[in-house]
Structure 1
């Protein structure tokens, strides 16, 4: 229990007035003062759950399953001061550190939307990337996810997490999410709107989260949320599913926003019940079928999740667009063959899915679903850059990228396995000396504990480091 957690009396009074009859305010306040349990989600694009559980067992990590996400686990480790973010498994993208309740929106979306194989999806407020990466793993890197983030300062973090997790089916955009309804009406098969909110539910991990709590601010945020949910609903295809979620507790930001949408489009909005999303979901179920998650019920953050189906089209006035010329061109068949031959000869990698585009000497792999949207939207980053061309004539060649390694490197049987001290030096940006390179020449995939962590260039008995400078970590692998 932490008495330093700031909880305004006005907030306590308000929550007392909206708590269900079977709950009491003292339990809510006590839960808000307890430290938040750490949780992680296994990234099944990199490792299956059983193999990860074997790793956790060897490390004496105690894992408790999260009921609403089969990849999610609460985690306890002997040395609570070891930063999980610098563990070998996290750096290799095998898991994502994610609060348990925030795994629920994606689970709710997939509960009511299963036709994901070639779907076009929108994560309307995506940073830092927990839900985008969860969604991408759930649909096995297929289809397309537009991951939008309004805050320019958070775009880099979003891209970094997508890259670490080996995700290739994402296009990043940087807009106020209110534009999507007019810019891309009736476009998305499913939409996740984890709306910006007052964050009342996050006080367990941030003692000062409610320092500036104010009822007027909540009402102002609610107005923004209503605009966002209307826009997202317009961007949704008829028959599509949208999940609206927040990490807050006030009705104005949750039920009232969804009811506003129903009032605006009564014949088009159907609320989908989440009563059987997981065992004991009924403990937080509202009369509308939403989940209003009080922190004391599942020992989590406070959260809210609603699933909504679009039953009929709604009127939209399309935007007048003026876009810059798209800077990429499809590659020629000759160039494509040469590049893919290089990947096969150098790494024995042959399974690359997507459409190949070129910008100057850069080669990018795009999700196929993006092609019809290329001239409809401006992208901050699209797909993944897999290689660059260097030199001319006989001296020309290809240089692979770190993104290529994170997405496809595990296919390579030729990767060189590093020891702990060598992997530590690699993450520090140093070249690796006195290593058996297996007589390899040129670019090589580098593995640690069986998982590809990046690229290097083999030069006799050393490997030149190819880790991007912005990914260098002086302190890493503390638990090795």
Structure 2
């Protein structure tokens, strides 16, 4: 129990005024004092929900469906020996440990089967839970721009994108307020999971409210209004914008959405989320937003709104100063040669919706849908690095394994559980009774976990240093 959760009296007074009539302040406080249920989301870029359920059953994990996310489950698992984050399934990207409420914004963005997007912006992306969820919904097609203002968090964002096999992303590191001017009407969908006061997070952080004040809520809401304006400018006409927070105050939620409506008038349309999942009406506001208190669905406090851009509005003018683009698109001949060598060496195929780009000796794969933005905006990392060129050909990179391989390739070596532990600790392995030549995909079961190179009967470890683990492995 988190009976020591800090809830300022001024905050409780605020909540008493806005809490749903079907609930009480006492129920709200009691919910805040209960530990948060652990939840996960199956990564459909790597596996299917049905296959994952079969594996979970064999491991003795009890899964209970999250009603607003077909891939989401609350999980009961014995973590006394191996934490969920150190299981083979997590390390190979089959699932993401994600709070159930935070799955809702992406579900709202892809509310119906007709919500198919070629270009999506995730304006505040780290650590990557929603970014990887969007990528899975896009089936790695089109382009997903994942922006993170905090440079220290970009590394974590990239690590999660890499682990989950995302290949259609382009990362950037800016204040989200730049997008409206730099990339006006470039995206069919925008998610802004806005920085907020975090009032809904006390169930996982008893001290989340230690520095809370009404003044800080107002200050944060002003930033959120700037961000939602920028997001709206970046959105194409007819496109959808989802605005979400893990906070409860109306100043950071409803009032931010109303600010957008007041600023752009009839160009903004609120899209009701009443049918997003069964019993969504319990949290529905008059505008059609979802204002979720922790006691309603036994999860974090959260807010989700879906809006549509009905007509164009004038975007801010910016003076662009972009340096020379350091990449060059490979010629058709060079791309064909790379495709041929990759197929011959590893039996891996390049996707049809991507193109090879070169920078010095580095070989990259960019989503074709990104190309229109390359001369308009500076990204910190685009697509995936697939190779380094050298005099004898190409040295393939880790993301060929995580983002392109399917597990059905001929050039694979299957490790035992003990060998896979050694692999994840950065050590070379000697698969019993096996030997080979050249580069090879490394698997545990049918899950591709890396790329190695045969040296006699030993597979030389090619795991990037930042992914090496040292203890409590599956």
Q: TM-score range by the shorter chain?
A: over 0.9
Query: Aligned to 1:70, what secondary structure does the other structure show?
Result: coil
Change (3 A) 1:243 1:113: farther
- TM-score normalised by L of structure 2: 0.97
Aligned to 1:333: 332
- Asked whether the equivalents of residues 419 and 431 of structure 2 are also in contact (C-alpha less than 8 Å), the reply is no
Change (3 A) 1:58 1:30: same
* Structure 2 Cα separation of the partners of residues 338 and 79 of structure 1: 47
Question: What is the Cα deviation at residue 113 of structure 1?
Answer: 7.5
* Structure 2 Cα separation of the partners of residues 93 and 186 of structure 1: 33
CA offsets 1:209-228 (integer angstroms, 9 cap, x no match): 11111110000000000000
Q: Does residue 452 of the first structure (1) align with residue 448 of the second (2)?
A: yes
* Structure 1 Cα separation of the partners of residues 167 and 341 of structure 2: 20
* Structure 1 Cα separation of the partners of residues 269 and 316 of structure 2: 23
CA offsets 1:362-400 (integer angstroms, 9 cap, x no match): 110001011111010010100000011123xxxx12111
Question: What is the Cα deviation at residue 112 of structure 1?
Answer: 5.3
Aligned to 2:232: 233
Aligned partner of 1:415 among 397, 412, 415:
412
Query: Aligned to 1:445, what secondary structure does the other structure show?
Result: strand
Question: What is the Cα deviation at residue 233 of structure 1?
Answer: 0.5
Aligned partner of 2:396 among 380, 400, 407:
400
- Asked whether the equivalents of residues 240 and 306 of structure 2 are also in contact (C-alpha less than 8 Å), the reply is yes
Change (3 A) 1:434 1:312: closer
Aligned to 1:144: 143
Query: Aligned to 1:36, what secondary structure does the other structure show?
Result: coil
- Asked whether the equivalents of residues 116 and 143 of structure 1 are also in contact (C-alpha less than 8 Å), the reply is no
Of stretches 5-14 and 67-76 in structure 1, the one that deviates more from structure 2 is 5-14
Any residues of structure 2 matched to 1:37-116 within 5 Å, and which? 37-79=37-79, 82-111=82-111, 114-116=114-116
Change (3 A) 1:79 1:147: closer
Change (3 A) 1:475 1:63: same
- Asked whether the equivalents of residues 246 and 304 of structure 1 are also in contact (C-alpha less than 8 Å), the reply is yes
- Asked whether the equivalents of residues 2 and 203 of structure 2 are also in contact (C-alpha less than 8 Å), the reply is no
Any residues of structure 2 matched to 1:174-185 within 5 Å, and which? 174-185=173-184
CA offsets 1:400-441 (integer angstroms, 9 cap, x no match): 11111101122423311100111001010111135343x421
Of stretches 71-80 and 160-169 in structure 1, the one that deviates more from structure 2 is 71-80
* Structure 1 Cα separation of the partners of residues 224 and 165 of structure 2: 32
Q: Does residue 278 of the first structure (1) align with residue 274 of the second (2)?
A: no
- Asked whether the equivalents of residues 112 and 241 of structure 1 are also in contact (C-alpha less than 8 Å), the reply is no
- TM-score normalised by L of structure 1: 0.96
Unaligned runs of 5+ in 1: none
* Structure 2 Cα separation of the partners of residues 32 and 102 of structure 1: 17
* Structure 1 Cα separation of the partners of residues 461 and 233 of structure 2: 48
CA offsets 1:59-118 (integer angstroms, 9 cap, x no match): 01000000000000000013456311100000000000000000000000111583425x
Q: Does residue 170 of the first structure (1) align with residue 161 of the second (2)?
A: no
CA offsets 1:236-283 (integer angstroms, 9 cap, x no match): 111110000000000000000001111111111110000000000000
Q: Does residue 250 of the first structure (1) align with residue 255 of the second (2)?
A: no
* Structure 1 Cα separation of the partners of residues 264 and 116 of structure 2: 26
Question: What is the Cα deviation at residue 470 of structure 1?
Answer: 1.0
